[in-house]
Structure 1
Amino acid sequence: MIQDILNVLTPTNIAFLMKGLWLTLKLSFIIIILSTVIGTVLAVMRNSKNIILKWIASIYIEFVRNVPNLLWIFTIFLVFQLKSTQAGITAFTVFTSAALAEIIRGGLNAIDHGQTEAGQAQGFTQLQIMQYIVLPQALRKMLPAMISQFVTVIKDTSLLYSVIALQELFGASQILMGRNFETTAVFTLYVTIALIYFVINFGISSFSRFLSKRWDLARE
């Protein structure tokens, strides 16, 4: 059995999996950055006193969040005729930005309104109040939920192989499984990619808890 495992985890196969892992991480990084920026804009719009901006953000967030991400991937890939990488990034950004918008809005709403009034009393503009007073405090409150969403993005990129044939980590493992039909080989590959996903996501979650503890100690 050990020999069977070694026959699967050859340097060539490991290098192929690492190539898939690199694509997974690259896609996730781009999606997270874009979604955070767009989600922040949507959260501010939904909290806006401008009724038009508020309704635009509300309709977008509620509609997108209540449609499965898998359907967004299919729709954007087929309707807009994008390349697989572009379609994957776009679909995930559309979906994740809506989820993050609600997380960010919850964090913003958790900040006492007196903070905003204090900033206005000091002559700050609304942008300065948001940038220097509200967002830094809100980030501490919404970080755990945001990190959880980031972890979801990394895991859910595995959908992209089955839908649009992107050879990310899970896709790379499926290709290798197609070359190795033995039960031991399939089991080895599944365990390997499960461990890779676990190490990455557990590391991110642990870092989030570390930051939260540091911030809690800083407030004491």
Structure 2
Amino acid sequence: MEIFNAANLGFIMGGFGNTIIISALAIVFSIALGTVLALVKQYAVKPLSLLVSAYIELFRCTPNLLWILFIYFTVKGNYIFISVLAFTIFTSAVMAEIIRGGLNSIPTSQFEAAQSQGFGFFATMRLIILPQTFKTVIPALFSQCTTVIKDSSYLAGVNVAEFMYTTKVVMAQTSNLSQVLLLYGFTFLLYFVLNFGISLIVRAYQRRVVAA
């Protein structure tokens, strides 16, 4: 049986599209939640800061797959929602530490200058501190984005129709070694192109920052 037919390729590429959708949504929500977590840990009163620190350490010190399984078996919803939720609660902890590192790199004189101009805390963060912070941490954030894309393959273990799952289903149709290897090569190529493309964007950004 020829494994690379129109139906199989359409099925596989549908899974690839789901991988991109899940990863993109998880990255956006993780950065948003991670920013809030970083700000609370860095600047909030101690009880809140400690609570956020506990959240961050809980997810940073446990495997992503554990939370995928936990969310899958405890939360009701479609597979896109469940997948995005599982990755967001985990990845936001990592993003929070990346963003907090960027916050720590901003000189305190920036805060003093903002206060002297009458800026409040939120205005200072939105207009002065966070733009500089994200400029600093963009390479690290993009690196974490590639990790999310690669780790999305864990979802195949809970039968989410992402790229690895659809590839696995098609692969089960044949025992021909050459076709299996060809399918592996195709899967490798698409993952590589997607993640290498992100790496090229990061390198271009870094060159532009250095040139500026």
- 1:5-59 alpha-carbon deviations (Å, 9 max, x no partner): xx33223222222111110000011101111100000000000141122011101
Quote the Cα distance in structure 2 between the aligned partners of 1:12 and 1:87: 27
Taking the TM superposition and a 5 Å limit, the aligned residue runs for 1:1-220 are 7-162=2-157, 164-218=158-212
Task: Say if 2:3 and 2:173, in contact at 8 Å, map to a contact too.
Answer: no
AA at the equivalent of 1:23: N
Q: Structure 1's 80 and 49: CA in aligned 2 closer, same or farther, altered over 3 A?
A: closer
Quote the Cα distance in structure 1 between the aligned partners of 2:21 and 2:38: 25
TM-score, normalised relative to structure 1? 0.92
Structure 2, unpaired ranges of 5+: none
Task: Say if 2:19 and 2:149, in contact at 8 Å, map to a contact too.
Answer: yes
TM-score, normalised relative to structure 2? 0.96
Task: Say if 1:32 and 1:150, in contact at 8 Å, map to a contact too.
Answer: yes
Quote the sequence identity (%). 39
- The more displaced of 204-213 and 96-105 is 204-213
Task: Say if 2:30 and 2:92, in contact at 8 Å, map to a contact too.
Answer: yes
Q: What is the number of residues matched between the two proteins?
A: 212
Quote the Cα distance in structure 1 between the aligned partners of 2:102 and 2:47: 22
Give 4+ residue runs of structure 1 displaced > 6 Å after superposition.
Answer: none
Aligned CA-pair RMSD: 1.3
AA at the equivalent of 2:25: I
Structure 1, unpaired ranges of 5+: none
AA at the equivalent of 1:51: K
- 1:90-149 alpha-carbon deviations (Å, 9 max, x no partner): 111110000000000001111111111111111111111111111111112211111111
AA at the equivalent of 1:58: S
